[in-house]
Every structure is written in structure tokens, then in C-alpha cells.
Structure 1
Amino acid sequence: MITESTVQAEFHGGRSRVAPLTWGQRGTWDGIHEWLPEVKPFFVLTRWLDVPLLLSLGDVLEQLSELLLRHESLRTLFHASPRGDATQEVLASGALDVTVFDRPADDPVDFTSIVTDCLVRAGATAFDHDKELPVRISLALHEGIPVLVVLGVSHMAADHTGVELLVAELTAMLHARAGGKPVPAPKPAVQPVDLATRQNSPDGQLLNIEAMRHLREHVARMPSHGPAARAVPLSPRFVRGEIESDALPVALRAAARRLRTTTSVVLLSITTGLLRHLCPEPVHRLDVMQSNRLAPDLFDAVTTLNQAVKTVVDLDVPDFAAVLRQSAATMTAAKSHARYDGRLAAEVLRDVVLPPGCQINDMWSTLPRSRTKAGPPTPTTLTWPERTPHEDMALYLDTGGTPDRMRLSLMADTAFLPLDDLRAFLFTVERIAAELAEEDVDLDRIGEVFTVLASDGEEGGGTV
């Protein structure tokens, strides 16, 4: 029988500090409280990693304590003010409860089930940020020997890139300990309190001014309504479809090289071509999520930095070359205007009713290239991992996965994209990327591929 117990990872000797929230933290704070008591999947980021053999429970706890000490975002409490704002309080010392699941040799439950249960637990309830550190950790043991670490990190403490940095760092620390080598030193990176100070400086205010100017310009061009309904919606209305593809990373990189641009620009251009086919309006609302990791001291920062830039894309374009130019300009402007105070943006938008549109969050393009040779390609798979009754946008297009196997995820309003169209949208991106790797593509070709795939039935398998 599996036994469950609680141990503690203690930390001592850090800095104790209190500060306002950073812009990224404030946007996350507002988003979390807008949806409470519902816990959206992106509020808690979950990961798991192997523990090298020969490490004891004490060894793993020691490395977890070091991780907490290195990153102030993991030992921060967030306190609401009467005005609805919040402050962050970094603790100099304390302890984090770690849940331990010890499986005896004769227990039939496998570790996959244990990890799944830990991941569900980590994201099932909202964090009490006023009293609870923004990370939940579980350890899976076999006969007392640590086998797996499971992390659930609040989006207040880290974004997706920050969580991947944590996993990579903890993995390196555990392997060094197992090999009897010195633990790798922490990489230089700004801490959230220092970033908040920077953002409240005169230079930070200049960023705000430019971002608000850009926002006003694009809000003035927003369409009056979202995309027209094309079908009777399902209930729940919003469905997420995902493909995982070995072919898509190869195709996007080859297309970007051939077209002398970036993979993000290629992805946005294909998406724009699809929107042009699906929407009769000449312009469409597009929110571009940015990682905001351009400065060297932000590359390895463990905090939440990503912010969305509200923009407009023209769909009345003559050819794919014009779409590429527009996409490149959109991405450049988004990078320049993605650092801002969300409360100021809310003031700009106070009397504005924004139409539902499309949000694109390309996290895959920020992943470092793999240093190992990819194995034999595996087929593209299709899954339907999520359904929800309400979302703010008609489409949410996200990328992630690994450098060699990309996850392309689309949460769609089924009144706009019924299931066959949602599936076709994902596979059209893969197909057109492959064609762009070899030759130029006419805009009408994107619509043709989509139409064929939408009528072909289930490609890649999977059920809702």
C-alpha cells in the first residue's frame, strides 16, 4: 500500500523584501482573480522530472531547499490591498511542505498513475497566495528511494519559460549531487523585486508611454464585432484541440530559413492566411503574447514576464509576401510594446468593448535548439484535452512541446470553428509549413488545403 506523508524543505539566509508587483505579476494577479473561484489550467504550471539513482530523500530535499533560496519568486507571498492591488513579500527563511508518496515493491500502482494524481492535485485548487508559497512539490519514492519530483508552480511565480528553467536547473543540481560533483552555480538573473523597481523608474515609464500609444493606435482600428458564427456551438462551447508533430518543427525552421525570417513570423503568416479564408472582415483583432526576455538579465529569470500586445491584422492583403511583411512588422512591434502596466492599459480601454479575436502565444520558438540528434520521426497525433463554457477570445493558438516535437494547441469557439474545422486548422498549419519549406504558397492555397482537410474526416485520430 502506498503511504503518504509530509516533509519540509527549509530555506535560510535569503533576503527579506517587500515591493509592488511587477507588470507581469500584476497582469497574472488580475487574471487569476477575474476567474476565481474557477482555476484555469494556465494558473498552475505542472511539470515532473526523474531523480537520479542513489540519492536519498535528504539529498533531494537539500537541493529543493537550495532552489527555493536561489529564486525569490518561489518564496514570495502576495498580499492584497484594500484597493484591489497587491504587494509581494519575499521571505528570508521558512519551510515548504513537500508531499511524499512511498510505493512498496509489491504495490500494483505504477508511477505513471502516481504522477498523474500529483499533477491533478497540484492544479486542482487555487493557491492562497497570502499564506501559501507559490509552489507545490510532491516526491514519489520506491521503497524509500526517491524516483520522481512533481512540481506545481503558480503563474504568479513563473511563466512557462520560467518553469522550464526551474526543471532544467533542478535536474542539473540533482545529477551533480548524484555524481559527487559541485552543484552548478545559479545563472545571473534579475529577481522580481528588482524588476519592479526598474519598471517604476523613469525608463520604465517611457516604456509605458510608448506601449499606450501603440495600444491606442490599434484599438482605433479594431473591428466592431468578433468573427461571425459559422455553426451551432457545442456545449460546453469552447474546445481545445492539439496536435503533436515531429514534422512541424522541421518544416517551420526550413521555411523560416528559405524565407529569411523567423519561425514565429512564418507561424503568424499561416495563421493570418487561415483567418483570411475564414473571416469576411478586412481586419481582425490579434493579441500577441510576448515572453519579454530580450535583456540578458531576463533570459534566465524565474518569474512571470509574458504580456499580451493587442493589435490588428489586415486580412485584405494581395499575396503571401505581403502577409509575411505584415507579420514581421507585427512581431517587431509586439516585442517593442509588450512591457507595460496593465492598470494603465485598463484605463485606456475603460470605455472600449473589444471584440473576440485570436490570441497567439508562440512558446515553442523560444525553446533552445536540441543538442542531441533527433530519432526516427513519429506520426502526428491529435487529442482533445479540454472543454470549457466561456473564454474571452474566439481563438487561442499556443505552441509548446520540445525542440524536436512541437505541440500546436488551439482553443476555439465552436460557433466559429466546429470540430472538423478546428482539426483542419491545426493540420493546415502543418501542411502549409511543409510546402513553404520547399516553395512559395499562394494565399488561396491555404484556403484550399483547409477546405479539403475539413471535409476529409478525422486525420490523426483522436476523439473529443
Structure 2
Amino acid sequence: MAELVRHRVPFDGRRATTAPATCAQRHMWNLIERQLPDAAFYNVCHWVELPGRGTPQDLLSVFAELLGRHESLRTGFDRTPEGELVQHVARAGEFEAEVWTIGRGEDAESVLRAWRDRMRHTAFERARAPLIRFMATVVDGAPALAAFCVSHLAADLMSLRLLADEVTRLLDAAASGRPLPPAVVSRQPVEQALLERSPRGRALLRRAHTYWRRQLMGAPATLFPPRDGTGGQPAGTGGDGAHVVRHSVALDSRAVALAVPVLARHWRVSTSAVLLTVVARLLGRRAGLTSCTLRLLTANRSDPELRGTVANLHAEVAATIHLEGDRIEDTARRAFAACTAAYANGLYDPDEVTDLFGEVARERGAPVDLSYCFNDIRADHGLPETAGGPEHLVTGAELRTAMADTVVAPHEFDEGETFFLVIDDEEPGWIRLVLNADGRALTPSEVRGFLYDVERVLVEHAEHAVADGAAQVSSQGVSGPR
């Protein structure tokens, strides 16, 4: 049976300081405030399998090293008497770590699952650093898995992936008796806050404000009008105070994983734009609209100084996809351009954008509902290579055959939005689509039907792309030089 030892481990960093909160930190603080009293709603968990080397003490030392390196992990937050949100970086302190010793053949997954469930319902005290907790499993005296739970104030998904990679590298060095590899030079949140208040930062915020105004002025009022046609409150606005039932379903598909890169090459767009195009067209067609405005989630790491930053840099940016015309590849290229423009405006003042919603609603005479999110969390969803890709190996028959392997099941994912789609590729060769929807907008069967429609449309277009590619190859073979 698994045995637990709880540790309080000291950490030590380079400085203690106080600074204004960044735009991303303020955005996340506002989201948590709206979610109260469930302050743990925005806790995020991540884990990494380890090669089974070193000792539990090595791993605890690695955890302490992470807090020393990354100021966001030892930062607390509160408001000044004037109401400004500030970040307080602690130089030293202690963190919590659970070490579970598991015998061979015992169920390590159930230990991780139980820990994650507890962490998702255990709120952090936001004013008290560190906003991270650790867990490890040990088999035969060596660490086999490391997990961490953070407040989204402290880190986003990209940060957790960076931490997972860093844990592996640091533990390997510690277990081998080698010096720890140096930290990647990156901008800390305190310096990010200073940049945002600099002339360059203020210029970026002004540009983003203009972008947001343009998006809000042109966005459809809602993608999910009231079903009864009475002109009442759209689903997801939540103003009536009633309890909202949400439905969450996951679709795991080999066929989607095969089809997406085929279409990305054929349409000459990113794989993320392929998925966004199909989702937008299905939503637009359902609502009878010629455009679709969604919020895209961005990691905000285009600046080289932020590529290795462990912090919350996350933002949600509106993007409008115009759906006119019959050729889906034209829509895909507009979607790709819309993504590019949105990500270029990922740094914005969240309070100013909140005010902008009110201003635009008064100008338009009605509120704008943008509670529709598209979140592609795959590690790599950019432009595929132009040659040598899967479309040269995949046939239409294989795409159809792969659809027989699709699995659809209820999922625990929950978000306070009308429509929230997450795309993941954690299992190689598969893509998972998880859709959480307001029950007033989509019934459980409609949620499943929407996911099946995404898969079906992707496969149909991929079949055409494969056929077109084969016809071009055949034509070149006949008419080319002998």
C-alpha cells in the first residue's frame, strides 16, 4: 500500500521585491475574483514521468531550486489601499511536498489522480507565497514521477511544460553528481510589469485597445440566440442568477490527427488554423451568420526574452473569422490571418478591455457576448513542413477506417463559458477535442454531435485533399519528361 510522507522544504532566491502586477496577473486575478468562493477553480496541475534515478532528497532539492530560479513561484498578491494589485516576491520560505512510496505493481495512477482531485479543491492563499505545491512518487527508492499544482496566477500551461522539462534535466544532473545546468535567462514578472509601463509597453497596450474595439464593434451579438426566439437573454450571460448546467464531452480521434496535417499543407495554414476554421464554420452555420468571433487563448511568448519565462503570461484575445464564400481553404487563410493578428495583440490591459465591453454595448445598443473560447494546447500547432508529410502516406480509406476507433465520453473539464473547446495531443497519434458548453446553448447530445461534426468535416476535406494530391502526381507523371 502506498505510504505518504509530507515535507516542508526551505527555498532561497536571489531577491525580495514588490512591483505592480502584470496585465496577465491582473487578468487572472479578476477571473479568480469572479469565481469566488471557489478560489481553487483556477488551480492547474501538471506532472512528468521520471527515469527512476536519484533519491527523493535529490528531487526535493530540485523543487527548491525551481523556486529559487523562478520568481513567479514565490510570489504572493494583494491590493494596495488605493486598489492597485501588486506582486510581492519572497526571497526565502518553505513549500509543501508530498512523497508517496509505491510498491511494484501498485496503482501509481490512482495516487496521482487522488492528489490532483485534492489540489483542484484546495485553494491557495493568494497573498502568501509560494503558490505551488509538489508531489512525487517513489518506486524502489528512486523518484518515478513528479507533479505540481500551481495557482494560475503563478504559472500557465507553457510554464508547467517548461518546469517539467527542467525537473527532468536537474534531477538527471543531481543523480549523476554533475553541476546543475544553469537557468535559462528570461524576463521575470517584475521586469514584465516595468516593461508594460514603459513607453514601448504603453504603445503596445494602445494598439491592443484599438484592436479590441474593432473586434467588439464587428462581432455578432451572440452565437447562441435564445432557443425560444423571444429575444431574451442569450445563453451564457448568466444575468438571471439561475444555476447553469454545463455539459462536457471528450472526443479522442486518430482520424482528426491524420486529417489535420493533410489539410494544413493543402490549405497552406497552421494546423491550429485548420481546426479553428472548421469550428468557426460549424458555429456560424448553426447561428446563420457570415462571421464568427471567438476568444483565442495565447501563451504570449513571441518575445525571445519570454520564451523561457515561468509565469502567467496567458491571455484571451478576440478573433473574427469571416465565413463568406464556398471555398473552405479561403476561409482557412482568413482564419490564419485572424489568428496572427490576435496573437500580435495578446498584451492588453484587462481592465480597459472590460470597460470597452461596456462602451461598445452602449454604442451598439446591446451587449456583445464573447463567451466562446478556442484553446489549442498542443505543444506544436504551427505551420507543418511543406514536404514529406503524412498526406503522402495516408489514403482516404485509412482516414475513414480511423474514424471507427473514435472514442467519445463524458469529461470532467468545466469552464464558466457558453462554449469552450480545448484541443490536446497528449497521446501520440491521437487528437483529443474536449467541449464544455452551457446547457442552455447545447444539450448533451448536441455537444457530442458538434464534436462528431468537427471530425466528419475534417475527414471529408482531407479525403478531397488526398485525392487532389494523387491526381496532381498522376498528371505530372503523364505529362512530364520521360
TM range (shorter): 0.7 to 0.9
| CA distance in structure 2 between the partners assigned to 1:162 and 1:355 by the alignment | 30
Q: Which among 415, 430, 435 is matched to residue 405 of structure 1?
A: 430
- Deviation track 1:37-62 (CA, whole Å, cap 9, x = no partner) reads 12465x11112223433422211111
**Could you say which residue in structure 1 is the equivalent of 2:190?**
193
> Given the alignment of the two structures, is residue 256 of structure 1 paired with residue 264 of structure 2, yes or no?
yes
* Cα 1:39–1:92 shift into 2, 3 Å: closer
- Deviation track 1:111-161 (CA, whole Å, cap 9, x = no partner) reads 222111111122112210112411011223357654332211111111111
**Could you say which residue in structure 1 is the equivalent of 2:470?**
none
* Cα 1:280–1:419 shift into 2, 3 Å: same
**Could you say which residue in structure 2 is the equivalent of 1:457?**
none
Q: Is the 8 A contact 2:11 2:92 kept in 1?
A: yes
* Mapping for residues 69-80 of structure 1, pairs under 5 Å: 69-80=68-79
What secondary structure sits across from 1:439 in the alignment? helix
TM-score if structure 2 supplies the norm length? 0.81
> Aligned-pair distance for 1:24?
1.0
- Deviation track 1:229-258 (CA, whole Å, cap 9, x = no partner) reads 459x99852111112333323321221112
- Deviation track 1:87-132 (CA, whole Å, cap 9, x = no partner) reads 1111222221212334567xx9632221111111221122101124
* Cα 1:321–1:13 shift into 2, 3 Å: closer
| CA distance in structure 2 between the partners assigned to 1:368 and 1:284 by the alignment | 22
Q: Is the 8 A contact 1:118 1:150 kept in 2?
A: no
| CA distance in structure 1 between the partners assigned to 2:381 and 2:276 by the alignment | 17
* Cα 1:368–1:160 shift into 2, 3 Å: farther
Spell out structure 1 runs of 4+ moving beyond 6 A.
367-370
> Aligned-pair distance for 1:280?
1.9
* Cα 1:176–1:433 shift into 2, 3 Å: farther
**Could you say which residue in structure 1 is the equivalent of 2:107?**
110
Larger Rg, first or second structure (1 or 2): 2
- Structure 1, unmatched stretches of 5+, are 442-464
* Mapping for residues 428-447 of structure 1, pairs under 5 Å: 428-439=453-464
| CA distance in structure 2 between the partners assigned to 1:380 and 1:277 by the alignment | 24
Q: Which among 170, 178, 181 is matched to residue 184 of structure 1?
A: 181
> Given the alignment of the two structures, is residue 101 of structure 1 paired with residue 115 of structure 2, yes or no?
no
**Could you say which residue in structure 1 is the equivalent of 2:332?**
324
Q: Is the 8 A contact 1:309 1:337 kept in 2?
A: yes
Q: Which among 346, 356, 374 is matched to residue 348 of structure 1?
A: 356
**Could you say which residue in structure 2 is the equivalent of 1:338?**
346
Q: Is the 8 A contact 2:11 2:68 kept in 1?
A: yes
| CA distance in structure 2 between the partners assigned to 1:96 and 1:90 by the alignment | 14
- Deviation track 1:294-320 (CA, whole Å, cap 9, x = no partner) reads 111222211111211224433454432
* Cα 1:258–1:368 shift into 2, 3 Å: closer
**Could you say which residue in structure 1 is the equivalent of 2:398?**
none
| CA distance in structure 2 between the partners assigned to 1:387 and 1:61 by the alignment | 30
* Cα 1:243–1:170 shift into 2, 3 Å: same
| CA distance in structure 2 between the partners assigned to 1:267 and 1:304 by the alignment | 25
What secondary structure sits across from 2:373 in the alignment? strand
Q: Which among 403, 406, 412 is matched to residue 380 of structure 1?
A: 406
**Could you say which residue in structure 2 is the equivalent of 1:447?**
none
> Aligned-pair distance for 1:6?
2.4
> Given the alignment of the two structures, is residue 205 of structure 1 paired with residue 189 of structure 2, yes or no?
no
> Aligned-pair distance for 1:382?
2.0
What secondary structure sits across from 1:437 in the alignment? helix
Q: Which amino acid aligns with 1:384?
A: P
**Could you say which residue in structure 1 is the equivalent of 2:372?**
358
**Could you say which residue in structure 2 is the equivalent of 1:125?**
122
Q: Which amino acid aligns with 2:464?
A: E
Q: Which amino acid aligns with 2:56?
A: L
RMSD: 3.1
What secondary structure sits across from 1:9 in the alignment? strand
| CA distance in structure 2 between the partners assigned to 1:245 and 1:59 by the alignment | 39
* Cα 1:327–1:81 shift into 2, 3 Å: same
What secondary structure sits across from 1:386 in the alignment? coil
| CA distance in structure 1 between the partners assigned to 2:409 and 2:81 by the alignment | 43
| CA distance in structure 2 between the partners assigned to 1:270 and 1:368 by the alignment | 16
| 248-257 or 259-268, which deviates more | 248-257
Q: Which among 150, 154, 162 is matched to residue 153 of structure 1?
A: 150
Q: Is the 8 A contact 1:264 1:365 kept in 2?
A: no
* Cα 1:180–1:350 shift into 2, 3 Å: same
Q: Is the 8 A contact 1:252 1:433 kept in 2?
A: yes
**Could you say which residue in structure 1 is the equivalent of 2:444?**
419
| CA distance in structure 1 between the partners assigned to 2:172 and 2:430 by the alignment | 25
* Cα 1:281–1:239 shift into 2, 3 Å: same
* Mapping for residues 278-317 of structure 1, pairs under 5 Å: 278-317=286-325
Q: Which amino acid aligns with 1:152?
A: C
| CA distance in structure 2 between the partners assigned to 1:434 and 1:185 by the alignment | 46
Q: Which amino acid aligns with 2:73?
A: L
Q: Which amino acid aligns with 1:383?
A: A
| CA distance in structure 2 between the partners assigned to 1:366 and 1:23 by the alignment | 25
Q: Is the 8 A contact 1:283 1:312 kept in 2?
A: yes
What secondary structure sits across from 2:411 in the alignment? strand
Q: Calculate percent identity across the aligned residue pairs.
A: 29
**Could you say which residue in structure 2 is the equivalent of 1:396?**
420
What secondary structure sits across from 2:421 in the alignment? strand
| 59-68 or 401-410, which deviates more | 401-410
What secondary structure sits across from 1:166 in the alignment? helix
* Cα 1:125–1:4 shift into 2, 3 Å: same
* Cα 1:380–1:172 shift into 2, 3 Å: farther
| 286-295 or 95-104, which deviates more | 95-104
**Could you say which residue in structure 2 is the equivalent of 1:448?**
none
| 267-276 or 170-179, which deviates more | 170-179
**Could you say which residue in structure 1 is the equivalent of 2:55?**
56
| CA distance in structure 2 between the partners assigned to 1:70 and 1:155 by the alignment | 18
> Given the alignment of the two structures, is residue 174 of structure 1 paired with residue 200 of structure 2, yes or no?
no
Q: Is the 8 A contact 1:122 1:151 kept in 2?
A: no
Q: Which amino acid aligns with 1:364?
A: R
| CA distance in structure 1 between the partners assigned to 2:308 and 2:14 by the alignment | 19
> Aligned-pair distance for 1:13?
4.3
TM-score if structure 1 supplies the norm length? 0.84
Q: Which amino acid aligns with 2:47?
A: W
